[in-house]
Amino acid sequence: MQFGIFTVGDVTTDPTTGHTPTEQERIKATVAIAQKAEEVGLDVFATGEHHNPPFAAPGNPPVLLAHLAAVTKRLILSTSTTLITTNDPVRLAEDYAYLQHLADGRVDLMMGRGNTGPVYPWFGKDIREGIPLAIENYALLHRLWREDNVDWQGRFRTPLQGFTSTPRPLDGVPPFVWHGSIRSPEIAEQAAYYGDGFFSNHIFWPASHTRQMVALYRRRFEHYGHGSADQAIVGLGGQAFIRPNSQDAIREFRPYFDKAPVYGHGPSLEEFMRQTPLLVGSPQQVIEATLGYREYVGDYQRQLWLMDHAGLPLKTVLEQLDILGSEVVPVLRKEFAALKPARVPDAPTHQSLVAAAGGSRDATVYTDADDVTGASPEESRAARATTPEGSLR
């Protein structure tokens, strides 16, 4: 079982002090939070992708993750999410393979459609095509990481002919992919089709909805022949705020909840906690609630929490991580390990994927080419021989 945190990188005013961090403060805080996550023994740090205020999350997550690769040693670096709809699959293939090399394999990523409508036209896309874009773009990305020469034609980008994405994946093994969704059964179907992981970020939805989404993914995972339903790879998201006793946790978190862009101005904190998996309480309450997720999704492989949302100051977030790492996660590791049947796989890592592939290999494509067209010397000479003199000037 992997435990970790994710961030959406929101720049939100602290309602208790009135302080709004600058973008640089928020970015530097994100780095400190990731380093703290490793220090307290967590397994995963994941960043969202945003292209608009009020977020300072990276528009190109590999920029942040490459820096984190240099300042951490063990942490798995992931996304939450990578926008498969508005990013070019060719660029994704190149950027994340490059990051994979820099991080010595400590990389996976979560594909998502994105829930900010204006992003689509900013990148020349139509939100009404969100599902078809997600399906087509990922189909291409999947091939780019597994085939050295790709011929491809689709609806949403120019065709490719004999295209080789570089660098090739580290050890010949692409990064593991999770498909993240809150509400779209088509994404659960897509994850099942490829035998990838399915990440249900069930912060805002009741348990009954998450149960349905995960059950659909498990059934279809088995249908496509990747293993039995209980062997499907499932991750869950959530949010926790922890203090030694529940009264202090609720009292301290309430003003942040009430003013949070995604929570406030609706149900009360208590109502939201009853209706969704939002956890605000003591370490024991967080432990019991998290163990309870297994009752409606089965044995699962990754649990991520949002810890730095809604204007919480860095000092408070770091305190939360200390509690999570010392009092919550060690108990959860022991309990989940005791409950998990031997047939249920662990969360994939680069090492386990390499082992499953029969060992590492050098996937580099060695070829001579010129530095202008990418053509081989023979192709360049042949082209010049048939080109009217002066036509290239």
Q: What string of DSSP letters covers 193-217?
A: HHT-EEEEETTSS-HHHHHHHHHHH
220 lies in a domain?
yes
Q: Please report the pLDDT score of residue 52 as a whole number.
A: 82
Is the distance from CB of 109 to CB of 60 less than 8 angstroms? Answer: no
**38 found inside a domain:** yes
With 80 as the cut, is the pLDDT of residue 11 above it? yes
- Contact indicator for 352, 359 with CB cutoff of 8 Å: no
390 — pLDDT class (breaks 50, 70, 90): very low
Q: Give the distance, in angstroms, between the CA of residue 129 and the centroid of all CA atoms in the same chain.
A: 22
Query: pLDDT tier at 392 (50, 70, 90 boundaries)?
Result: very low
Q: Please, how many CA atoms are within 13 Å of residue 162, restricted to the half-sphere of its CB?
A: 3
Q: Give residue 393's pLDDT.
A: 36
Distinct helix (H) and strand (E) counts, the chain: 14, 12
Q: What is the mean pLDDT of residues 268-293?
A: 94
Sign of CA dihedral 168, 173, 175, 177: positive
Q: What is the mean pLDDT of the chain?
A: 92
On the question of pLDDT at 385 being above 80, the answer is no
- Percent of the chain scoring above 90 in pLDDT: 76
Pairing relation of β-strands 2-7 and 302-306? parallel
Residue 22 domain-assigned (yes or no): yes
Q: What is the domain range of residue 31? A: 2-383
- Whether 391 maps to a domain, the answer reads no
Tens digit of pLDDT for each residue in 299-352? 999 999 999 999 999 999 999 999 999 999 999 999 999 999 999 999 999 999
CATH at 340: 3.20.20.30
Average pLDDT of span 90-117: 92
pLDDT for 384 equals: 53
What value does the mean pLDDT take over residues 240-251? 96
Whether the pLDDT of residue 164 is over 90: the answer is yes
- 362-382 tens-digit pLDDT: 999 998 766 666 666 666 556
pLDDT band at residue 261, thresholds of 50, 70 and 90?
confident
Provide the number of structural domains found in the chain.
1
Q: What is the pLDDT of residues 191-235, one digit of tens each?
A: 999 999 999 988 878 889 999 999 999 999 999 999 999 999 999
**Residue 391 has what pLDDT?**
42
- Please, how many CA atoms are within 13 Å of residue 155, restricted to the half-sphere of its CB? 14
Q: In whole angstroms, how far apart are CA 93 and each of 177, 275, 346?
A: 12, 39, 25
The pLDDT value given to residue 153? 96
Q: Is 392 contained in some domain?
A: no
For residue 81, tell me if it sits in a domain. Answer: yes
Residue-level pLDDT at 373: 63
**Cβ atoms within 10 Å, residue 316:** 18
H-only helix segments in the chain: 23-39, 61-71, 89-102, 119-122, 130-144, 185-194, 207-223, 246-259, 269-275, 283-297, 314-323, 329-339, 350-356, 377-385
